[in-house]
Amino acid sequence: MTVGFTVFDTAIGFCGLAWRGDVVLGTSLPEGSAARTRAWLLRRFPDAVEGPPPPVVGEAVAGIVALLGGERRDLASVPLEMAGVPEFHRRAYEVARAIPPGKTLTYGDIAHRLGQPGSAQAVGQAMGHNPFPIIVPCHRVLAAGGKDGGFSAHGGVGTKRRMLVIEGALADEPTLF
């Protein structure tokens, strides 16, 4: 079955999504431009063909656009391809998917919910390898004390903070400019 992908505009820039059938294989946060996001997806899915998504995947795209536009959208029902995802990561992603827009948990909170209270660092590593950003909302997972923690997407922690502001989890902070 052919792997398809699409690049679409959102309030934070051009995101991307790849699928096979009605299942999402991966997503991309903005890479700085539509062309860079497209290139990133093609590096990850070299045999993918760009085109319009099937209806189920189109609903996921619409949900991502709406969420990043400030609407409270639950993406927990979007079907994800978890083959090849380590079991611990899969379990951590399940907990992260249950965090509603506008809320956050810490890496330690997720470790406790997994019944492994000493595994906060492993949770952080799982979030850093998340193949489904936005759908698996790793941006809603913070370091101890509510600190940002890391964020491996283009724009780093600034992108994470922007997403949290859009969702209402952080106050919009004034800048000097």
> Which pTM does this prediction carry?
0.91
What value does the mean pLDDT take over residues 19-44? 96
At residue 1, the pLDDT reads 84
What mean pLDDT, rounded, does the chain reach?
92
What value does the mean pLDDT take over residues 43-67? 97
What value does the mean pLDDT take over residues 101-119? 95
Question: Dmax of the chain from CA atoms?
Answer: 51
At residue 143, the pLDDT reads 84
Angstrom distances, CA of residue 56 to CA of 62, 63, 157, 170? 10, 11, 31, 31
At residue 117, the pLDDT reads 93
Q: pLDDT class for 176, splitting at 50, 70, 90?
A: very low
In contact, 45 and 5? CB cutoff 8 Å? yes
Q: pLDDT class for 147, splitting at 50, 70, 90?
A: low
Residue corresponding to tokens 């913070």 = 142
Give residue-wise pLDDT tens across range 7-20.
Answer: 999 999 999 999 99
What value does the mean pLDDT take over residues 130-158? 83
* pLDDT at residue 47 is higher than 60: yes
Residues recognised as catalytic: 138
